[in-house]
Structures are given as structure tokens and as C-alpha cells.
Amino acid sequence: PSVPSRHGVGKAEDTSRTSPFHLDLWFYFTLQNWVLDFGRPIAMIILPLEWFPLNKPSAGDYFHMAYNVITPFLLLKLIERSPRTLPRSMVHVSIITFVMGASIHLVGDSVNHRLIFSGYQHHLSVRDNPIIRNLKPETLIDSFELLYYYDEYLGHSMWYIPFFLILFIYFSGCFTPAAQRSRMPLAALLLVGPSSLYYW
């Protein structure tokens, strides 16, 4: 049973829980994916570099930080609205792992962005980059390889695997008996295009 509220929050939440399509959450997912993820490089190009010195977070870093806070919140709200009871411990561990992976990726991306200004070439391996080869002592190269591993392998795995696991848990909870078969809402159809393009 819902908890009564003076402002009608409990009733609104009940309505959104039983709704066949959660337009608010899926719209926020689509919006934040395009603005906070694709908007990162655009913000770094548009905003003057003088505003964000190389020893401080860039505009893109702040976009990434917002993504790391908003996305887990949206995932939790999505799970709350699942028609069936889900294993909470798995959801919480997945969210924690997601935040860790996205944060590791944030740090790696931030450092890599600054290395580009120093002549780092992304199409070359860490050891083949001219600016890395000249580092002394040579053990510093191992540190940069470790950074690359955290960013491109560990960070991405800890970010995307829990993310899609949570979506899988949610959608598996949506398979419940229905009194009648209904068509996909128009709002859902409108969001399929931009969301599919983003994930592709």
C-alpha cells in the first residue's frame, strides 16, 4: 500500500509504477545520454581552454561527473518500478560496480585528454608513443600502461556489464501476465530512434 502524502507524491508514484511505459525515466535516459555523453567533447571544443587549465577538471569532466550521479539514480528508479520483485542485493552490487567503473573511466579519459595536448597519439600503443618512449625512468611507462588498462579494459567492463545487467533484470521483471495485449505507446516509439542510435 502507498504511504499517503499531502502533496500526492504517493499516488503519482503508484500511477507511474503501474504505467505500461515509464515515459519520464526513459526520456531522462535518452536526454542525459545525448547531452552528458555526446555533449562532453562538444563542450570541450566550444568552451575556452583558459577556463579549464590542464591541472584542473575540464568541462567534459563535469559532464561525466553528472552522468555518474544521474544514471545510477535513474537505474534505481527504474528498478523500483519493475512489476515483479527483483533481487535487491544484485541490483545494489551492480549499481556500486557501475559507479566504480564509470568513475575509473572518468579519470582515465580526463588524463588521456590532457596527454593529447602534450602530443600523445591515440592510434599508437602506449609504448609506441614518442612522448611516452622518452620518459625516464622507464618504469613510468608501466604506470601509463596501467592507466590505459584501468580506463579501456577494467573501467569499461565495470561500467557496461552492470549497466546492461540491470536493464536485463528490469526487462525480465516486465514479463508478467496481462489481461490484454496493448500496442507500444507512441512516446516509446519516438524514443526508440534516438536511444537505439546512441547505443549503436
Gap between the Cα atoms of 158 and 92, Å rounded: 14
Condensed to tens digits (0 to 9), the pLDDT of residues 63-94 reads 999 999 999 999 999 888 887 777 888 889 99
pLDDT of residue 73: 94
Gap between the Cα atoms of 12 and 69, Å rounded: 24
Gap between the Cα atoms of 31 and 28, Å rounded: 5
pLDDT of residue 69: 94
Gap between the Cα atoms of 153 and 19, Å rounded: 38
Condensed to tens digits (0 to 9), the pLDDT of residues 100-153 reads 999 999 998 888 888 888 888 888 888 888 888 888 888 888 888 999 899 889
Q: Is 47 helix (H, G, I), strand (E, B) or coil?
A: coil
The proportion of the chain whose per-residue pLDDT surpasses 70, expressed as a percent, equals 86
| Phi, psi angle pair for 96, to nearest 5° | -60, -45
In sequence order, what DSSP letters do the residues of 162-176 get, joined into one string?
HHHHHHHHHHHHT--
Least confident span in 21-25, 156-160, 179-183: 179-183
**Identity of residue 100:** M
pLDDT of residue 12: 46
**Among candidates 7, 33, 169, which has minimal Cα distance to 90?**
169
- Single pTM value for the model: 0.76
pLDDT of residue 66: 94
Condensed to tens digits (0 to 9), the pLDDT of residues 5-52 reads 444 444 444 545 555 678 888 899 899 988 988 888 888 888 887 888
Report residue 12 as a C-alpha cell.
Answer: 503519482
Q: Is 81 helix (H, G, I), strand (E, B) or coil?
A: coil
- Omega before 48 within 30 of 0, i.e. cis: no
- Omega before 130 within 30 of 0, i.e. cis: no
The domains of the chain are located at: 23-175
CA separation, residue 186 to residues 4, 134, 199 (Å): 32, 58, 20
Condensed to tens digits (0 to 9), the pLDDT of residues 148-157 reads 899 889 999 9
Gap between the Cα atoms of 188 and 12, Å rounded: 20
